[in-house]
Amino acid sequence: MFGLGRALPFVADAASYVCSFVSLLAMRSPFQQARERHPLRLRAELAEGFRFLWGQPFLRATALLYAVGNFTIPAFLFVVVVVARRDGFSGGAIGVLLAVFSACLLLGSLVSSLARRRFSVRAIVLAELYTGVAVLAFVVWPSVYVLVAALLPQAIVLPITDSVVIGRRIAITPDRLLGRVEAVRTTLARSAQPLGPLAAGLLLGSVSGRATVAVFGALSLGLAACGTASRALRTPPGLVELEV
């Protein structure tokens, strides 16, 4: 889109938000329990949300894992763009590479219900973490095609992991705390997201793409090891026991 017109990607993005807004307006289901309104105490409410999240092992573990994952995945996508440009790819060709990644995200969304029935929560979360290690193949064979191919398995698993983690997170959290707990979790998980491309850019400015991927790949490997050792992921809360 950017190759066709500089404003076109931003117009398309804005249109996607309009569609989301209209979809939300069309929803009629009540998503919250009825409760009394109280004066806003922003600092106290955020502190309450943080205490609840930190006191729940599953929520705490997944929030931290997501924070690190949101640091590495955007960094790898940034490396794809830079390495492809260095190799002489056009803007359209780079867009196709990223579109393949997005298509795999969509595929993961389509098969998520099947995966939830067949695999445990821990197996799904660990699958996301360990598929992230595949990028180290780029260190052995520094081709942008290898890097993109290594990212695709994780792209498929990402929405599957979201579906199991978010479902349990909402089920665990009391309705009155959901907004503030989500605010805290989002802050933890998303604060690292813009730092990934920044760190990748700084590394690419001083070392090779292979060395940059090696650094982030080692971080992904450490994240997978932490997920394997996590007690919270070994015994995640089941939806049936939460309903009871």
Residues 6+ apart with CB under 8 A from 56: 172
- Which pLDDT value is given to residue 244? 43
Q: DSSP states of the chain as a string?
A: -TTT-TTHHHHHHHHHHHHHHHHHHH--S--S---------HHHHHHHHHHHHHHSHHHHHHHHHHHHHHHHHHHHHHHHHHHHHHTT--HHHHHHHHHHHHHHHHHHHHHHHHHHHHS-HHHHHHHHHHHGGGGGHHHHS--HHHHHHHHHHHHHHHHHHHHHHHHHHHHHS-GGGHHHHHHHHHHHHHHTTTHHHHHHHHHHTTS-HHHHHHHHHHHHHHHHHHHHH-HHHHSPPPHHHHH-
- Domain 42-227, CATH: 1.20.1250.20
- Its pTM stands at 0.83
> What was the pLDDT predicted at 210?
92
- pLDDT given at position 47: 87
| pLDDT at res. 175 | 83
User: What are the tens digits of pLDDT across the range 204-243?
Assistant: 999 988 999 999 999 999 999 999 999 999 888 766 555 4
Task: List the chain residues with pLDDT less than 50.
Answer: 243-244
How many CA atoms lie less than 13 Å away from 222 in the CB half-sphere? 9
